[in-house]
Amino acid sequence: MKSLHILLLCIPLAFAGCAQYVTVSIIKPERAGFTTKAGDPYATLGDYVVAAKSALEKLDRDPANLEAQRDYNFAVARICGTLRESKLAPWKSPIPLGAHTLAWECHPRPVWNPALYELIPTDELQIEGTYFDVRETKAGLGAPVVARRVADQAHDHAPTPHFFYAATVVARFEGSRCVLGIEDPLQTETIRAGRRTFPLAAGYSAPLAMLLVEMKPKSLKLPRLLHPAKFAASTRIARLEPYDPNKTVVLVVHGLMDSPGTWFPLINRLRAHEDVRRNYQFWFFSYPSGYPYPYSAAILRKELDATENEYPLRRKMVVIGHSMGGCISRLLIIDSGDRLWNSMFTAPPERMDLTPEHKHILTESNIFAHRPEVGRVIFISAPHRGSDLASNWVGRVATRLISIPEELLAVGRAEARYEKHAAGALHLARFPDSVDTLAPNNDFVLALRPIPTKSGIPYHTIAGDRGKGDAPQSSDGVVPYWSSHLPGARSEKVVPSHHSAHQHPEAIEEVHRILTLHAVQP
C-alpha cells in the first residue's frame, strides 16, 4: 500500500520521471589523415605534435583555413587523450619526443594547475538525454576538455565528489618545443597562437553532463523528500566553476522533490551567451525538500554565511528559485520583524518556555531579515500563496509519508500551546513538513501574504500556462497563476509550459534578458 501511495504522490509532482536526463558514453573520434590506433605513446605523441605544428603553420598563413583549424584541434585533443591514457605528465618535466619536446605552461591562476585534473577531451564523449537536447559549443582554436578534479567538499563547495570544469587546451610552439596550456573558456574568449589571434574553442555542455551523471539526480528526489534527516549531509551551496570575485553569482534554488540537476538545461543554454560567461558564475543550493520551506530558508542563510566567508562577494547576487525554491528565495528579501511571529503565536520568543535549541529553531524559521548580498530575484512557477495540490488528497497522502526529524517534532510539541488558531487556517498537531507549508491555508502562508519584499531589491516572475493562453485564469498544472503572481514584480512573463517552466526555451530567454539587464543595472 505504501508503494501505491508513493506512486500517487509522484504522478502530479514529477512530469518527466521516466525520461533519461543524460547519458555519457565514450567514443573513439576519427579524422581523415590521422591514425588513432594504440601504440608507443611517445611515438604517438610525436606524430600528433607534428600534426598540430603543421596545422598551426597553415593557420599562421591563412587564419580562415577551417580544415587546418579542425586538424589542429583534433591533434591537440589526441595529445591530451594520449597523455591521459599513458599517465604521462609534461607539467612535471618536459617529455622528449625525438625532434620535439612536449612541455606545459604554468597558468597564472593556481586553480588551473594541470596536476589537479584528469583532462578528458570532449570529442571523446557522446552525450544524450532530455536535459541536453542541445550540446552547446563554441567554434575556435583549441581542444575542449572536461577538467575532472577530486574535490574536498568541506572546503571547496563541490557539487559532487568531483568538480567537472570546462577547459580548453592549446598548443603553442617555441622552435622544437611544443608547449601546452589550459585556458578557461568561461573566462577567456580569444587566444594568441603564432602571429594570430583566434576565438577560443569551447565545450560548455560536457562538464555539466558528466556532473549530472555523477550527481544521480533521480536518486535524490523522492528519498530527500520522504526522509530529509537522512540526507542532511547533502545540504550545501555548491559552485559549478572556479570562483571569480569579479563575476556576479547566480544562485539557483530547486523546488519540492527535485535536485540541482533540474537547473542544468537552463545553465547549459545560458553559458552559450558570451555576456553571461563574461558577467556571471553559477552556484546552487541543494537541500532535502521534505523540510518545511521556512526551515530550509534558515538553512540557506547559514550556508550563505559559510560560503561567503570563504568566497566574499564583490557584487550582489541574483537568486533564481523554482517552485518551492521560489518560496525559499522570497524569504531572502523580506524584513518580517515580529509580524509573522505575532500572526502565529500568542507570546514573543522571550516569554516562551522552550529550550534554547527549540527557541532558536523556531525564531530562525519565523523571523527574517533581508540578505544584503541579494540584488535581484527571479521567481519561476513559485506558489507564493500555496497550491491546492498541497491541501487536497494528494498533499495529505504526502504528509503521511514524509518523516520529519524528531528534533523538529519536539519543537512542534513544545510550541503547540503558544499557537494561534485563526479561523480557516490549517491546524496541525505536529511540526509541519514541506507539503504542509505549501497549502494555501497554512498559517505561515497566510501570515506571509501581506509582508512586502525589501524596497530596492527588484524581482521578476515567470509562470507557465500549459500553452492554453488563459492567464490570469491559468495554471501550470501544479501552481495556479493567482499563486505565482506577485504584485510589484519588475516584469512578469507567462510561457507555454507545464510546471517545469525553468526548462522552457522562452523562460530561459527571459532569464537571459533579466541577467543582461542586471549586468548594466545591478
DSSP output for 155-221: HH--SSSEEEEEEEEEEEEETTEEEEEEE-TTT-SEEEETTEEEEBPEESHHHHHHHHHHH-HHHHH
CA distance 260 to 243: 18
Three cell numbers at 458? 527588484
Grid coordinates 581542444 are at which residue? 143
Identify the pLDDT of residue 424. 60
Whether 519 has a pLDDT exceeding 80, the answer reads yes
Amino acid at 157: H
pLDDT tens digit string along 146-166? Answer: 999 988 765 689 999 999 999
- pLDDT band for position 420 (cuts 50, 70, 90): confident
pLDDT tens digit string along 382-405? Answer: 999 999 887 776 666 777 888 988
Half-sphere exposure of 293 (CA within 13 A, CB side): 31
Would you say 169 and 180 are in contact if contact means Cβ atoms under 8 Å apart?
yes
Distances (CA, A) of 464 to 137, 244, 254, 491: 29, 34, 16, 14
Identify the pLDDT of residue 466. 97
Would you say 21 and 216 are in contact if contact means Cβ atoms under 8 Å apart?
no
- Percent over 70 (pLDDT), the chain: 93
DSSP 98-141: TTEEEEEPPPSSGGG-GGG-EEEEGGGEEEESGGGSS--EE-SB
pLDDT tens digit string along 132-144? Answer: 989 999 999 999 9
Largest CA distance in the chain: 87
- What mean pLDDT do residues 238-259 have? 96
Whether 241 has a pLDDT exceeding 70, the answer reads yes
Identify the pLDDT of residue 155. 65
How deeply is 2 buried, as exposed, middle or buried, from its count of CB atoms within 10 A (0-12, 13-18, 19+)? exposed
Residue count (the chain): 522
Three cell numbers at 357? 535549541
Three cell numbers at 1? 500500500
Identify the pLDDT of residue 6. 40
CA 235, 240, 241: angle at the middle one, nearest 5?
Answer: 140
Identify the pLDDT of residue 5. 38
The number of helix segments (H) and strand segments (E) in the chain equals 18, 19
Identify the pLDDT of residue 20. 87
Identify the pLDDT of residue 11. 38
Identify the pLDDT of residue 317. 98
Question: What contacts 288, CB < 8 A, 6 or more positions away?
Answer: 224, 225, 227, 228, 229, 230, 231, 232, 234, 235
Identify the pLDDT of residue 97. 95
Which among 206, 73, 62 is positioned nearest to 142, based on CA atoms?
Answer: 73
Half-sphere exposure of 405 (CA within 13 A, CB side): 17
- pLDDT band for position 14 (cuts 50, 70, 90): very low
- What mean pLDDT do residues 47-65 have? 96
pLDDT tens digit string along 90-115? Answer: 999 999 999 999 999 999 999 999 99
pLDDT tens digit string along 360-380? Answer: 999 999 999 999 999 999 999
Three cell numbers at 296? 530550509
- As a whole number, the mean pLDDT across the chain is 92
Identify the pLDDT of residue 425. 66
How deeply is 110 buried, as exposed, middle or buried, from its count of CB atoms within 10 A (0-12, 13-18, 19+)? exposed
- pLDDT band for position 486 (cuts 50, 70, 90): very high
- What pTM, to 2 d.p., does this model score? 0.93
- pLDDT band for position 2 (cuts 50, 70, 90): very low
- What mean pLDDT do residues 226-232 have? 93
CA distance 148 to 490: 40
**296 three-state secondary structure:** helix
Three cell numbers at 230? 537522512
Pairing state of beta strands 100-104 and 177-183?
Answer: parallel
Identify the pLDDT of residue 400. 81
